[in-house]
């Protein structure tokens, strides 16, 4: 442990020394730290005065945490410069090879550089926040609560780790600073959006929601660090000479995995699809368990918690039943209002959204969307129970007939997204990150084309033409 | 000691950068690895340093397998990379101290090794200057000092004297010779054939990842250029006519004032040949071996590999 830390610190120490001797990094940071709090202080004052004239008390409470968050974020933009300089810069200048030829292991190098990438900008960031708070002492304004301050400082820390770990992932892929800077926009743009989202939480949400943002960012940063660790290998760092995109080779890699050894569609279904499903068995189990737990939890939450907030009187139950009965009368029009092809396309689109969300979050957002859908099912059954319908009958007549196909399809698609995320953060010394990504994407497409799309098509037809009939049979008194 | 057998490396695009390299370099020996740019020298060295894992075959450095004990291999090897790889904002002294720490040397050893190497390579006065201010040759010397900081048993040196002035290059060559005397095992990758000829005990020529030739300089000369040639020069035109040649001797070339013989066993044949010439009253002014340089061996080997005619 001691030896590991010594090695990490050795790498970090040299980087710190190098950084503080590079005026291109230090001077702008100092200027930003020294100047920005004054600008922000003045702007805040103007804004508060402006708001006060119109009685904007809500904004008044929230504007200072928002300014603190922004002040903390500006110096953090240097995390990208520091991280890219530290990783790609070393590759480009050829200084990394002597380091890689030494007995230091990959983990020491990675963590040493990560430490520097996070620490210096974060120190400047906290310095800037501190200066702003000092300036704020002169103003007759209300300070944020200690809890809010801690959350903002944690959020700033999470931003730093997120940006550095993402920059390192980029650095492993690029061989020149130029290429890395171009790729860095994939970090800057999402983080800018993230900041806007957090601003919304500060303005209109509450501190509890901000806490979840900290937790979410920390998880994402952890996954990015793991991804960087798994791909920061000597072999890979030295194996790439130039940044080129070989579309032909990429397409071939994707296609070979997608088609496999199959000579016909039937062979593909007989050999390739079962093979891919076998590989998905573990994520499938996880997703199924997550689905069951979510449905039951959501059901229980609705049944137990709702009555505490809503007084469920017999009149209200009757009113709700009448409302449902009125709406169910439109069931006959379902095939014209929502034709099966539209329903099918909508479900396909949802599966693709799961994939896209999973792609930018190592599968986690894809699984989150799946959880939301499962929670809806549990919620619907819970509401059914509250208004004295049999949840079992609702499930068997209104969900299960098409759900057998639809839920199976969505579960498989989610499992494939989860696997993609897991594979990306798992070390595979013989494959590049791009190759791993393409192979997992091909696996996803394999189950998507081979299973998910046909299952969703069947589900759409059943949902439009069969499910309404079964609902009528199960609940004749409503029609 | 460096051993490898069938050492091969295939990159993702199915390109074999190194294909079946077998080497055996004993302590106190220097192997010069020669080849064109992109022939596989750097990939071979990187595999021997445990930076790249072999696709096929094995290699052992100082008894450690590069695939199984990469960290032990790296701890026992001193590497001079193709690019000097110096940190420009560090002084020479700081740089050596940093690498000394990485190799686990205590402070006292770091100081003494660093002082010795800076002194030896004539960098003492520049020790407190940032290496970014060094000349090309000074940078190369500092990089070499880095490779030697932990006094490794095995040295892998890529172009050790490139960019150096003649005095510095001589200094480096002397240090390499001294290291050989102290039983270090050394591989040098170089394009400087004179240097390879002067320093090496073994020479390997690599082409498109394969070792074409491997042996001592004499073995290589004999294999590639054939038996040794001797030339007799005359003060006046001399007609050799039906000169009786000793066994194992062939008349390779002639002009009015010179004869060139290819001789299998000079020790036996030369006295007889000189006697035969003098008995014919040949106006002999000199009889000496025709010098054959490594350069000829290398160029002929490359020409053969590429299927072109070698014009000496």
Q: Is A261 helix (H, G, I), strand (E, B) or coil?
A: coil
With beta carbons under 8 A apart, name residues in chain A contacting B103: 102-103
Strands B249-255 and B228-234: unpaired
* CB A458 within 8 Å of CB A405: yes
Between the alpha carbon of residue B63 and those of residues B2, B31, B59, B68, B185, the distances in Å are 8, 18, 9, 11, 12
Q: Which residues of A touch B97 (CB under 8 A)?
A: none
| Cβ separation B81–A101 shorter than 8 A | yes
Say yes or no: B292 contacts chain A, CB-CB below 8 A.
Answer: no
Angle between the N-to-C axes of helices A400-424 and A281-309, in degrees from 0 to 180, rounded to the nearest 10: 120
Out of A189-193, A306-310, A393-397, B56-60, pick the least confident: A189-193
Residues of B in contact with A8 (CB under 8 A): none
What is the model's pLDDT at position A242?
47
How many angstroms separate the CA atoms of B143 and B84, rounded? 5
Of A103, A234, A249, the CB nearest to B102: A103
Task: Return the structure tokens found at A250.
Answer: 């990429």
Q: Do B79 and A249 touch (CB under 8 A)?
A: no
Contact A79, A188 (CB under 8 A): no
Answer whether A241 touches B (CB < 8 Å): no
Query: What ipTM describes this predicted complex?
Result: 0.83
Cβ <8 Å between A14 and B103: no
pLDDT over 70 percentage in chain B = 99
pLDDT at B76: 93
Residues in chain B: 312
Least confident of A23-27, B192-196, B263-267, B297-301: A23-27
Q: Which residues of B touch A97 (CB under 8 A)?
A: 51, 79, 81-83, 85
Quote the distance between the C-alpha of residue A172 and its chain's center. 21
Note which residues in 63-82 of chain A have CB less than 8 A from chain B: none
Burial class (CB in 10 A: 0-12, 13-18, 19+), A307: exposed
The share of chain A scoring above pLDDT 90, in percent, equals 18
Minimum CA–CA partner of A234 in chain B: B51
Question: Given this model, what pLDDT does residue A427 score?
Answer: 62
**Domains defined for chain B, CATH in brackets:** 2-221 (3.40.50.300), 226-289 (3.30.70)
Q: Is it the case that residue A47 has pLDDT exceeding 90?
A: no
Q: Which chain B residue has its CA at the smallest distance from A236's CA?
A: B52
Check if the beta carbon of residue A158 is closer than 8 Å to that of residue A118: no
pLDDT, position B69:
93
Q: What is the pLDDT of residues B103-128, one digit of tens each?
A: 999 999 999 999 999 999 889 999 99
Mean pLDDT of the B260-266 span: 88
**Range with the lowest mean pLDDT among A136-145, A240-249, A340-349, B60-69?**
A240-249
- Between positions 48 and 107 of B, the ones with CB within 8 A of A are 49, 51-53, 71-72, 74-75, 77, 79, 81-90, 94, 98-99, 101-104
H or E segment to which residue B302 belongs: helix B294-306
How far apart, in whole angstroms, are the C-alpha atoms of residue B68 and residue A335? 66
Q: How far is A443 from chain B (nearest CA, A)?
A: 21
CB atoms within 10 A of CB B290: 14
Interface size, chain A vs chain B, as Cβ–Cβ contacts under 8 Å: 76
The residues near A291 (Cβ < 8 Å, ≥ 6 apart) are A370, A374, A407, A411
Hey, which residues does B286 pair with through a beta bridge?
A: B233
Over the stretch A223-275, which tens digit does the pLDDT of each residue have? 888 878 877 777 777 765 545 567 777 888 888 888 888 888 899 999 889 98
Angstrom distance (rounded) from CA A440 to CA A127: 43
Provide the β-strand partners of residue B157.
B80, B188
Q: CB of A359 within 8 A of CB of A424? A: no
Neighbours of B151 (CB within 10 A): 15
Closest residue to A105, CB basis, from B12, B71, B104:
B71
- Residue B187 is classified by DSSP as E
Per residue in A106-154, pLDDT (tens digit) is 889 889 988 988 888 899 899 999 999 898 888 777 788 888 889 889 9
Max Cα distance, chain A (Å): 82
In angstroms, the Cα distances linking A475 to A10, A329, A396, A470 are 73, 12, 12, 8
How big is the CA angle at A236 (ends A230 and A242), to the nearest 5 degrees? 135
* Mean pLDDT (whole number) for B7-34: 90
Contact predicate B66/B58, CB 8 Å: yes
Pairing outcome for strands B30-35 and B202-207:
parallel
Q: Choosing among B74, B76, B102, which should be mutated to test the A contact, i.e. which has the most A CBs within 10 A?
A: B102
For residue A289, how many other CB atoms are within 10 A of its CB?
10
CB A279 within 8 A of CB A443: yes
| A30 Cβ contact list (under 8 Å, min separation 6) | A124
Task: For A420, list phi and psi in degrees, rounded to 5.
Answer: -55, -45
- d(CA B116, nearest CA chain A) in Å: 21
Nearest to B74 among A22, A95, A101 (CB): A101
**What is the 8-class DSSP label of residue A143?**
P
Q: How many CA atoms lie within 13 A of B77 on its CB side?
A: 35
Closest-CA distance, A80 to chain B, in angstroms, reads 20
B187 shares contact with chain A (CB less than 8 Å): no
Q: Find, in chain A, the residue whose alpha carbon is nearest to that of B85.
A: A95
In tens, the pLDDT along B163-177 reads 788 888 888 888 889
Chain A residue with Cα closest to B14 = A249
Contacts of B79 in chain A (CB under 8 A): 97-98, 101
| Percent of all residues in chain B with a pLDDT value above 90, rounded to a whole number | 57
Residue B24 has pLDDT above 90, yes or no: yes
User: Which residues are within 8 A (CB) of A315 and not within 5 positions of it... i.e. 6 or more apart?
Assistant: none
Instruction: Please tell me the distance from the alpha carbon of residue A334 to that of residue A401, in angstroms, as a whole number.
Output: 16
Residues 374-393 of A with CB under 8 A from B: none
Q: Which two tokens stand for residue B181?
A: 């005397």
Closest-CA distance of chain A to residue B81, Å: 7
Would you call B23 helix, strand, or coil by DSSP? Answer: strand
pTM for the structure as a whole: 0.73
What percent of chain A is predicted at pLDDT more than 70?
Answer: 93
Cβ–Cβ < 8 Å for A224, A217: no
Residues near A290 by Cβ (< 8 Å), separated by ≥ 6? A367, A370, A371, A374
The SS3 assignment for B103 reads coil
- Distance, CA of B195 to CA of B159 (rounded, Å): 10
- Give, for A68, the enclosing helix (H) or strand (E): helix A57-76
Q: Which residue does chain A place closest to B82, by CA atoms?
A: A94
Residue A171 dihedral angles phi and psi, to the nearest 5°: -60, -35
pLDDT given for residue A406 in this prediction: 93
Tell me if chain B has a CB within 8 Å of the CB of A238: yes
Of B12, B72, B84, the CB nearest to A432: B12
Percent helix, strand, coil in chain A (nearest 5)?
Answer: 85, 0, 15
Give me the count of residues in chain A.
479
Cβ-defined contact of B74 to A435 (cutoff 8 Å) = no
């Amino acid at each position: 442990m001691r030896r590991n830390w010594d090695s990490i610190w050795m790498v970090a120490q040299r980087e710190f020394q190098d950084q503080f001797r590079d005026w291109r990094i230090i001077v702008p940071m100092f200027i930003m730290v020294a100047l920005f709090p004054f600008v922000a202080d003045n702007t805040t004052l103007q804004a508060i005065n402006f708001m006060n004239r119109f009685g904007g008390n809500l904004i008044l409470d929230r504007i200072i945490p928002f300014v603190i968050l922004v002040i903390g974020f500006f110096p953090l933009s240097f995390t990208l410069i520091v991280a890219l300089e530290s990783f790609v810069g070393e590759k480009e200048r050829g200084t990394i090879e002597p380091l890689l030829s030494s007995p230091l292991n990959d983990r020491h190098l990675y963590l040493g550089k990560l430490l520097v990438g996070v620490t210096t900008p974060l120190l400047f960031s906290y310095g800037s926040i501190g200066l702003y708070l000092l300036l704020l002492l002169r103003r007759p304004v209300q300070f944020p609560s200690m809890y809010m301050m801690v959350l903002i400082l944690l959020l700033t820390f999470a931003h730093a780790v997120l940006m550095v770990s993402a920059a390192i992932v980029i650095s492993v892929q690029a061989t020149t600073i130029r290429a890395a800077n171009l790729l860095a926009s994939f970090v800057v743009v999402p983080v800018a959006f993230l900041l806007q989202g957090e601003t919304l939480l500060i303005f209109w949400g509450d501190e509890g929601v901000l806490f979840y943002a900290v937790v979410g960012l920390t998880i994402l940063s952890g996954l990015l660090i793991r991804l960087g660790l798994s791909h920061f290998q000597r072999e890979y760092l030295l194996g790439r000479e130039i940044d080129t995109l070989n579309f032909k080779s990429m397409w071939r890699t994707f296609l070979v995995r997608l088609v496999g050894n199959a000579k016909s569609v039937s062979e593909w279904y007989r050999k390739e699809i079962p093979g891919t499903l076998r590989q998905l068995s573990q994520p499938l189990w996880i997703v199924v368990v997550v689905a069951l737990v979510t449905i039951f939890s959501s059901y229980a939450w609705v049944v137990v918690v709702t009555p505490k907030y809503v007084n469920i009187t017999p009149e209200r139950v009757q009113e709700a039943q009448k409302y449902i009965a009125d709406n169910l009368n439109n069931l006959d029009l379902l095939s014209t209002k929502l034709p099966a092809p539209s329903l099918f396309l909508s479900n396909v689109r949802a599966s693709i959204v799961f994939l896209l969300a999973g792609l930018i979050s190592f599968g986690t957002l894809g699984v989150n969307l799946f959880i939301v859908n499962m929670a809806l099912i549990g919620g619907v059954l819970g509401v059914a129970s509250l208004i004295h319908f049999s949840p079992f009958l609702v499930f068997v007549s209104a969900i299960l007939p098409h759900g057998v196909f639809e839920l199976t399809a969505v579960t498989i698609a989610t499992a494939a997204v989860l696997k993609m995320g897991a594979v990306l953060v798992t070390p595979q010394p013989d494959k590049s990150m791009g190759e791993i990504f393409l192979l997992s994407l091909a696996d996803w497409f394999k189950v998507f084309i081979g299973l998910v799309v046909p299952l969703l098509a069947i589900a759409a037809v059943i949902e439009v033409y069969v499910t309404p009939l079964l609902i009528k049979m199960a609940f004749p008194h409503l029609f | 000691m460096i051993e490898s057998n069938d050492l091969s490396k295939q990159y993702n695009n199915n390109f074999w950068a190194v294909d079946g390299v077998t080497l055996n370099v004993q302590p106190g020996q220097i192997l010069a690895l020669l080849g064109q740019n992109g022939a596989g020298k750097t990939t071979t060295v990187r595999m021997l340093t445990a930076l790249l894992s072999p696709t096929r075959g094995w290699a052992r450095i100082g008894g450690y397998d590069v695939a199984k004990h990469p960290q032990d291999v790296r701890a026992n090897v001193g590497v001079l990379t193709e690019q000097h790889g110096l940190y420009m904002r560090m002084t020479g002294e700081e740089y050596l101290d940093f690498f000394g720490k990485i190799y686990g040397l205590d402070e006292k050893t770091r100081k003494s090794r660093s002082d010795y190497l800076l002194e030896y390579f004539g960098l003492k006065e520049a020790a407190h200057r940032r290496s970014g201010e060094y000349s090309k040759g000074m940078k190369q010397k500092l990089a070499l000092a880095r490779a030697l900081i932990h006094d490794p048993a095995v040295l892998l040196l890529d172009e050790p004297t490139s960019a150096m002035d003649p005095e510095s290059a001589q200094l480096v060559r002397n240090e390499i010779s001294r290291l050989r005397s102290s039983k270090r095992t050394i591989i040098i990758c170089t394009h400087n054939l004179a240097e390879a000829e002067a320093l090496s005990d073994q020479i390997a020529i690599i082409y498109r990842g394969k070792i074409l030739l491997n042996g001592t300089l004499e073995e290589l000369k004999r294999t590639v250029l054939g038996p040794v040639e001797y030339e007799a020069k005359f003060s006046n035109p001399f007609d050799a006519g039906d000169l009786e040649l000793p066994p194992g001797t062939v008349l390779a070339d002639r002009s009015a004032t010179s004869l060139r013989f290819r001789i299998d066993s000079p020790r036996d044949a030369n006295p007889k040949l000189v006697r035969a010439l003098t008995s014919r009253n040949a106006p002999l002014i000199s009889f000496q071996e025709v010098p054959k340089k490594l350069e000829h061996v290398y160029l002929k080997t490359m020409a053969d590999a590429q299927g072109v005619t070698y014009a000496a």
